């Protein structure tokens, strides 16, 4: 029996899927249900199911990023979407990220059964797991999507002193370990190196304003003190903040 997790913020939908779909007939069993994206991912990490049937328009959730997280962190899980969100481009992107079927609510039983049969057929081919990690196109696309989302979040929040890998990982729905691996693979840099570069890039912009003291720039870019800021700036930019400002003023 393949294990299935159902995720939808409409409890009536979850109950209906649990009872109406002939799971045993299709070689499956419902292992768990969740009612939001974050809870769904926590359940998936715990249960490690074979199949996920999920909505992607739930409160406080970036549906595409969640789908990318599933594909990247759990590449052998088969995923189908059941949603009321009718957008061709969104559906296309979801399929690019490895979604097996993009079903629109209300979906009939035959469509659901066909989606499950297709996912089961795929699982029959890929299990038992081959040696090594798959690097198929959809897995790579999912990783790229997650890295872009993580970098965008880091750029937006880099001035916050306590921005952490864990916070960014939560934002893109993956574990800290997995996000760290993706960042290193796609950029060749660690989270802290990337964060430092973003902060120094922002600092260079602020140093163009002569009314801002070095201390003000340090505080505005997430550094706890001027000494730490100056050391980081020199390591990344090759000169101190004061030297950078003077050189800029002379050009």
Please give the model's pTM, rounded to 2 decimal places. 0.84
- Quick: pLDDT tens for 12-42: 999 999 999 999 999 999 999 999 888 888 8
Can you give the residue ranges of every domain in the chain? 2-126, 194-250
Express each pLDDT in 142-177 by its tens digit.
999 999 999 999 999 999 989 999 999 999 999 999
42-82 per-position pLDDT tens digit = 899 999 999 999 998 887 788 889 899 999 999 999 999 99
Whether the CB-CB separation of 203 and 248 falls below 8 Å is answered with no
**In DSSP terms, which residues pair with 83 in a beta bridge?**
104
Report the interhelical angle of 137-157 vs 176-187 (nearest 10°): 100
Strand partners, 82: 103
Task: Domain 2-126: give its CATH architecture.
Answer: 3-Layer(aba) Sandwich (3.40)
Take residue 213 and report the two structure tokens written for it. Answer: 């003291």
Fold classification of 194-250 is Arc Repressor Mutant, subunit A (1.10.10)
Given a contact cutoff of 8 angstroms between Cβ atoms, the answer to whether 175 and 169 are in contact is: yes
Q: What is the pLDDT of residues 84-136, one digit of tens each?
A: 888 888 899 999 998 999 999 888 999 999 999 999 999 998 665 544 444 57
């Amino acid at each position: 029996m393949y294990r299935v997790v159902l995720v939808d913020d409409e409890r009536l939908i979850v109950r209906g899927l649990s009872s109406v779909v002939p799971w045993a007939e299709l070689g499956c069993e419902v292992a768990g249900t969740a009612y939001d994206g974050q809870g769904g991912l926590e359940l998936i990490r715990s249960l490690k199911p074979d199949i996920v049937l999920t909505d992607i328009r739930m409160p406080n959730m970036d549906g595409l990023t969640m789908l990318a997280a599933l594909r990247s962190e759990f590449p052998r899980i088969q995923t189908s979407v059941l949603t009321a969100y009718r957008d061709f481009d969104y559906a296309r992107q979801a399929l690019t990220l490895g979604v097996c079927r993009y079903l629109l609510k209300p979906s009939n039983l035959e469509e659901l059964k066909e989606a499950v049969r297709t996912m089961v057929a795929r699982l029959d081919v890929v299990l038992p797991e081959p040696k090594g990690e798959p690097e198929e196109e959809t897995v790579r696309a999912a990783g790229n999507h997650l890295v872009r989302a993580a970098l965008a979040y880091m750029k937006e929040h880099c001035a916050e002193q306590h921005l952490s890998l864990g916070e960014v990982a939560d934002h893109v729905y993956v574990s800290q370990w997995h996000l760290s691996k993706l960042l290193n693979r796609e950029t060749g840099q660690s989270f802290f190196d990337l964060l430092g570069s973003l902060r120094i890039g922002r600092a260079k912009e602020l140093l163009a304003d002569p009314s801002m003291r070095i201390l003000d720039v340090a505080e505005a870019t997430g550094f706890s003190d001027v000494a730490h800021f100056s050391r980081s700036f020199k390591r990344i930019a090759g000169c101190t903040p004061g030297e950078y400002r003077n050189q800029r003023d002379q050009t």
